[in-house]
Every structure is written in C-alpha cells, then in structure tokens.
Amino acid sequence: MLVIATASMVGLVWWKRRARRVHVIDHVKLEMHPACVVDDRVVEQVWRAAISMTNMSRRPRVLPVLAERATVRAGSRVFLANVYLETHVDEVNPDDVALAWVEFVLPGGIAPGVIVVSRLRGDERARPLRWTSRLTQRARQFDQVG
C-alpha cells in the first residue's frame, strides 16, 4: 500500500512539473510556437521561438511580466536565452495578441528541448513557465540531416 501511495505522489509531482505548450494567466493565454533556426553559423546556431500572449476575456488585461533571461534545456545541458517583447505594450484588448521572443544560441546539431521562462510578480519570487519546444518542419529536417 505504501508503494502505491508513493508511486502516485511521484506521478502527481511529475504531472505538475511537466513542460506544457500553453499557460493561462489571468485570462491571458501564453502559447509557445515552434522554434526555428534564424542564423546558422559554422559551429553554432541561433534559435528563436515566439510566445504569443492572447487576451481571452472581454475586457483589457495586463500582460504577465516575463524575466529578461530564460533557460533552454537541450539534452543534459542548460543554456541561457534572452526574452524580449516585440513592441512595448503593458496590456492587451480583448482578442488582441502581443508577441514575445525567446532567442538563444546552441551548438550545431543540437535541438532545444524544454524552454523555461520566469514570470515576475511584484515582490514575490519568480514563477517558472515551462514549455516543451517544438521544431518547425525546416528545423526538423535540418536536425535529421545535419
């Protein structure tokens, strides 16, 4: 009985900590779009993934504040990434979309796995948002060939 209870608790913790593709914060849907290679250098690649922030309510909503730095897990290694908004906007009207970009450099031939962006909330500690990275069709083909 103890083994079953322990296994179910471990499963529950894993389920809560798993990476997702969509987060909803105060009626604002944050969705990670497929990552793509924007600059292919000799020994490294510059990747970029878009985060769309859509207001799902009927009134204007303040966007979640994202940290300027993020982490990208590729295999067993962790890399730093930069996060920035496409335009300076604090709130979005109903059904409007704002874009944030996560840009990072990985060694050639390595694809991103999980992207973790911290969400800042006033005087509280940063809360991480985890996304499973998807690749564009072009990046997937390059990963198989290269």
The pLDDT of residue 11 is: 58
Residues of the chain with pLDDT under 70: 1-20, 122-126, 136-146
Domain boundaries, the chain: 20-145
DSSP H helical segments within 27-93, as ranges? none
The pLDDT of residue 130 is: 84
DSSP H helical segments within 18-136, as ranges? none
The pLDDT of residue 137 is: 55
The pLDDT of residue 115 is: 92
Q: Does domain 20-145 have CATH number 1.10.10?
A: no
* Residue tagged 């009207």 (tokens): 93
